[in-house]
Structures are given as C-alpha cells and as structure tokens.
Structure 1
Amino acid sequence: MTAHYHLYSSEGCHLCEQAIELCSTVLDINSIKVVDIVEDESLVEQYGIHIPVLERLSDHTKLFWPFSQQDIEKLE
C-alpha cells in the first residue's frame, strides 16, 4: 500500500510518539509514512520546531501539532 500521509517526526520525540498513536486511531497505520526530519537538512529547517506534522500527500495539506482526533478526521 502506498503512503497517503507523511508524519514528520524525530527519533526520541515524545510528542511524535503521541501523534503516531493518535493517527493510528483514525487512519490505517499502513497509509502513514513516518519521516525522520533529521535525515534531511531542508526538512529540519522546515519542520524543526513544529514536529510532529501530519501531511496529506494528495494536496499537501498539513496539520501542525497539537492536533486532535477530530482534526485528523477532517483531514481524512
């Protein structure tokens, strides 16, 4: 299955772990690709102080933390 969402995060980020759990309550976990921003300098610049960020790939709509289950449902 192709990812329909990217969750921008960083290893050891407790908020990112919470976001993954929250996303998995609404979305198929297989539709989410977790992207570690540390591996890409431009992603660090773009999302470094904002992670976790959930992006719907079809139109690049983004949810910046803090987001709720209702926010994810609207994005779906």
Structure 2
Amino acid sequence: MAKVVLYHTEGCHLCEQAQAMLAQHPQVSAIELRDIIDDPEWLSAYQVRIPVMALAHRPEAELGWPFDQQAINQLIEQYGPY
C-alpha cells in the first residue's frame, strides 16, 4: 500500500476529482492533502499544475493532472509502495 501526497487548493474541482480517485485506489493507503496556498514553494511549483499527486516516500515521483488509475499503478510499481 502506498501513502500519497495530493497538492491541491480549495475550490478546485479537478482536485476534488483527483482526491476521490485516490481514495478509491486499492493500492493507496493514505492521502496527505497539501493546500498549495499554505507554502510559497508549493505555490510556486504547482499553481498552474494542480492537482499533483506524489508518493510520500519519493516526493520527486509525481503525477500531474490529468492522471488515471493506470498511471497511479505505474508510478507505484516503478517506485514501490513505501
């Protein structure tokens, strides 16, 4: 099972879709939500790319929207669940 980070912001309907997709994914055990407005580095990096999903143990392993269940599977398989 993988722990993931979802970079998002309030009022982002795509972020809500991504969160729902991650919540239903069988290999995702936990989702840490990070609102990009809370950190200037996150805002700079992700303001035009959200939602962005990253593996908690490998933050460089990320997927920008749009992503699907297959892309999530591939990322987890490539970098491992932990």
TM bin, normalised by shorter chain, reads: 0.7 to 0.9
User: Where does structure 1 lack aligned partners over 5 or more consecutive residues?
Assistant: none
| Aligned-residue identity in percent | 39
TM-score, length-normalised on structure 2? 0.81
Aligned position for 1:62: 62
TM-score, length-normalised on structure 1? 0.86
- Per-residue CA deviation, residues 10-69 of structure 1 (Å, 9 max, x unaligned), is 0010000000011112123xx110100011111110000000000012222000000011
Moved over 6 A (4+): none
Name the structure where strand makes up a greater proportion of residues.
2
User: Where does structure 2 lack aligned partners over 5 or more consecutive residues?
Assistant: 77-82
1:65 counterpart letter in structure 2:
W
Q: What is the correspondence of 1:1-76 to structure 2 with a 5 Å cutoff?
A: 4-26=3-25, 27-28=28-29, 31-60=30-59, 61-76=61-76
- Please, what is the CA RMSD of the aligned residues? 1.4
Distance apart, 1:4 and its partner CA = 2.2
